[in-house]
Amino acid sequence: MTSTRKSPGDRAVRPGLVVHHSGGIDFGRPVIRWRVGGLSGRWDRREVIVGTVAALATVVMAIVALGSGDLTVSPMGVVKALLGTGDPAAELAIREWQAPRVLAALAFGAALALSGAIFQLLTRNPLGSPDIIGFGVGSYTGALVVTLLFSGSYLATAGGALAGGIATAAVVYALAFRQGVGGFRLVICGVAISSMLAAVNYWLILRADLSEAMSAAQWGAGTLETVTWQMTTPALCVIVVLITGVAALSRRHPVFELGPEFGRALGAESRASQIGLPVLGVALTAAATAVAGPIAFISLSAPHIARRLVGGGRTPLTITALIGSLLLVVGDIVAARAFSPRVLPVGVITVCLGGIYLCYLLYREMRQEQ
């Protein structure tokens, strides 16, 4: 793979040729060029197709999820309820009960997926997602301490989750660092710290009152069943701010387009990417954990699925976020309907599906190590 400093202009680019210029990075793949007034640009054609399909699938699944509550509503009935022309009972159920839950699934899925993409790319490890290396459990520990000991609000709980996640990340990185944090060392240290924190979480729950312990245990499985507008609104605001920060930093660092090796070759390894992106990644996990508890395997699987769909070894953040939202919404639908009228925590569904995917990743990683 070679590079050139010539301006690409309108010339044909050979497949596999990487051209880095002021307007972006040319991978020699089919692109869609656009111009609006004085603005112009180009989009990777395959990314546009995958992103459009993912967005449409997410919208369709969100409509299905809105009608999957205690009162089952058809997709057309959901649309009428959202437009204010449907059955009054359906409108009440969808707007007051299902809407905050579905919006939370969309936002939390995107947040967890982006967090996973950040850590997988920065650690150069396909297993380096927050739920595997313990950051999610650390966030849950911090949130659990604030909730059980201080009965804090969402912002206080989110602050505890952020503090727990950052502290866990610092410990895991310190233990795993040895001329970098790649390979299985980071995963092993993360699993060890995660197991220790899980024991701490059980101890905290056992010391709590019965009602608080039952709520904390259900929350610890990862659930959207108890989400309300009062919980969803501040979480959405926090996640929007964090995603904006990730977008701002990632635009200045081609690590998300080229991978960390090319990013360093192009001078992208700045302090902003070394410190800012990991903090934002932990904060995204903490924001979701503070409301829904630790929802496993979304942050692990979504970036991998996005890379496989797009190809080229890149991790487009927009598509990764859409895949994360789609996975969590579908998981919530399965949790609501699979054992109806009993509703399962969505974390149970993601663990069942993600465990199979994790076994596949471990097998593939061992094959590559050999």
Which domain, by its residues, includes 255?
Answer: 43-128+220-369
pLDDT mean across residues, the chain: 81
Residue 274 located in a structural domain: yes
Residue 89 located in a structural domain: yes
Average pLDDT over residues 40-66: 89
pTM comes to 0.84
Residue 61 located in a structural domain: yes
Q: Which of 173, 206, 176, 188 is nearest to 278 (CA)?
A: 173
Q: What is the pLDDT of residue 242?
A: 95
Higher pLDDT, 123 or 206: 206
Residue 33 located in a structural domain: no
Residue 119 located in a structural domain: yes
Q: Count the domains in the chain.
A: 1
- pLDDT, tens digit, for every residue of 128-181? 888 888 888 999 999 899 888 887 677 888 888 889 999 998 898 888 876 555
Residue 11 located in a structural domain: no
Q: What is the pLDDT of residue 253?
A: 56
Residue 345 located in a structural domain: yes
The CATH number for 82's domain is 1.10.3470.10
Residue 317 located in a structural domain: yes
Cβ 354 vs Cβ 296: under 8 Å: yes
Rounded to an integer, what distance in angstroms lies between the CA atom of residue 345 and that of residue 362?
A: 26
